[in-house]
Structure formats: C-alpha cells, structure tokens
Amino acid sequence: METKKILLVDDETKSFEILKRVLSNSNWIVESASNGEEALKLLKDSPFNILVTDLNMPIMNGMELVSRVQAEIHPKPKIIMTTAYGFDEVRKRAMDLGVYAFLTKPLDYKVMAQTLYKCYEGSKNNASSIVHQNLDTQRKKPPFIGVGIAVSTGGPQTLKQIFNKWTLPSEAAFFIVQHGPEWCLESIAERFNSELGVKAGLAKDGELPKSRQVYIAPGNHHLCIDPKTYKLKLVDSPPEHFLRPAADPLFRSAAESLGPHFLGIILTGLGRDGTHGAQLAADMGGKILIQDPGTAIAPFMPKSAIQSGVKHQMATLEGMRQAIEDHVSKLSKNL
C-alpha cells in the first residue's frame, strides 16, 4: 500500500478537525501545524505529498510559507491554499507561486476530497500546477476603506500630530493598535475626542465600523475585523511579540476582510509588530504606508517593515496626513 502523507496547517485547529478524521480513515498519514514556521520544520524533517495551508496565520502566513516551501523544500509537496475570501490579487499571487488549488472557507468536504485526489495524482505524475477556484465572485465590496495603524513608543505624540483637528476622509474608518495598558488606551481615546476634535473610542466586540471614526484596540485584547460581516471582534488569543493588543492580528484580519480596500500604516515603535501583517496585506492587494524612520521617536518598527522587503510607500511624520488622504482617495475609487 502506498504511503500518502498530508500536512494540514491552520492556527484555528477546529477548521481541519473533520477533514483530519476523514483522511485518517482513508489511509492518509495526517500531521498538523498551527502556523507556517511549525509547518516548515515538519516539511524539512520528512517529505509530504500534499500541503494544505490556511492563508491568514500568525508568525508565518500561508503566502510566506508557500514561498519558503518552493525555495527550500525538496521534493516539493503539491499545495492547496484555503482562505475565507479570495480576492483576485491573492489568486494571482498564489498562481505565481505554484499553488495547485485555492479553496474558500467554509470548506466543502466533497470538493476538498476531489481536489485532494487530483492533487495526489498530480504529485505522482509531476503534473503542472493549476488553481481550482471555488470562490464567491459576487462578494459585496466593504462599506468603508479600512485604515489600520500600528504604533508603540512615542505613539501619543505621533498620533496627536497626525490627527489634531483633522476632518477625516469620508470613506475611511480608522483602527489603531497602540501598545499599552488599558488605562493608557482609555486616556488616548478620551484625548482624541476632547483635545483633537476627532470622534474616537475603544473598539467594542460586534460593533460595525463607520467612516470618519477612530476605533482603538482596548487593553488585553487583539482587535480584528470579521471577514463575513465587517464587524469588529475582540480576541483574547495569545500575545504576539509579547503584546496584546498587537497590530499583526488586526492587519491579517483586515487583509482577509478588506483586501485591496485596506491601508496599513506602521508608525514609531520598538520591535517588529506590524511587519508580518503588512506582508499579508500587501499580498492581498492592500497598500502599506511606513513612517520615515528618521522622523520616528522609536524607528525600530518602521525599519523592521522596510527591511522585510514589503512593497510600501514612505512618508515623514509631517507628510503622513496628506499621504493617508492620497491613499484613501485612490482606494475609494474602487468602492
């Protein structure tokens, strides 16, 4: 009997539970990983026929994993990618990387079984890659342009300079992840309203964002956007970069929810938060704007994003407001 090995990769382990049971009962050897970094280690240790990976994951997202597999793994598995929604930019990027099949969630297990069979036969015959499109082509466009901001050390002063007395673009809702304790974030929200003249508040779970408003991630929760409803989600998943809230979960969820209708911004701060999420956002067709490190109180977060090679534009602190307005104006033409 032939050995058939498959690696399932998703940070939401429940997503593949049914599939894992079905495959195990069909003589597949099934292993799993919760992110791309774990998956890459398993792939280097042992060959697999098929890799099924989610797109939106912490530490290393699905697109980055595929790139690393193509460059570092021999023999290469056939790759199936899953995601909540498939924007054209993502499908094209997946095709360029040699993804065999691209499926949307929730998974149709009959379609998945057929795809796995074709994929396995292709791996034996060294068939060229194709992209199977099981996609919602009628998906409605989001009700707003999403502007996500990652900021840490020096954040309050930086945000004040950008937002003070600013009439926000009518098409955009703003989401800010400022690293800090709960009391500090509450104070920042109050200051937006009382001093800066900008409508803002701590984000609430289940809230539907509105244009010309600022939503600040509350203490001890990651702020995310639901890809099906566009409502806000407050998530108590583990800290990332030792931080909660962190910007990477916001950027990843916004990339999957809003795709080419998202602008990710990385401002002053220590560490690397925002870098991985920015990479996924760019892969999904979004735009990335990074503060010129020379104008940042703490240049490390901007430098990290720049050094990652993500496609971006850079703006000084003084030019940041105008740069945001220009990007939102361009993105809103597709709404």
Give 33's strand partners: 9
Is 273 labeled as catalytic in the residue annotation? yes
Is 332 labeled as catalytic in the residue annotation? no
Three-class SS state of 114: helix
Residue of 11, 123, 152, 253 marked active site:
152
324 alpha-carbon distance from chain centroid: 20
Kindly calculate the radius of gyration of the chain based on its CA atoms and give it in whole angstroms: 21
CA atoms within 13 A on the CB side of 272: 12
Burial of 165 (C-beta count, 10 Å sphere; 0-12/13-18/19+): exposed
Is it true that the peptide bond before 245 is cis, omega within 30 degrees of 0?
yes
Residue type, 103: L
Tokens read off for 285:
């067709």
Tokens read off for 264:
């990710």
Residue of 10, 11, 54, 273 marked active site:
273
| CA distance linking residue 247 with residue 233, whole number of Å | 14
Contact present, 146 and 227 (Cβ < 8 Å): no
Tokens read off for 180:
């800090």
| CA distance linking residue 334 with residue 141, whole number of Å | 9
Give 147's strand partners: 174, 263
Is it true that the peptide bond before 249 is cis, omega within 30 degrees of 0?
no
| CA distance linking residue 206 with residue 136, whole number of Å | 24
Residue of 10, 11, 123, 179 marked active site:
179
Q: What are phi and psi of 74, to 5 degrees?
A: -140, 125
Is 170 labeled as catalytic in the residue annotation? no
| CA distance linking residue 182 with residue 150, whole number of Å | 16
Active site positions, annotated: 152, 179, 273
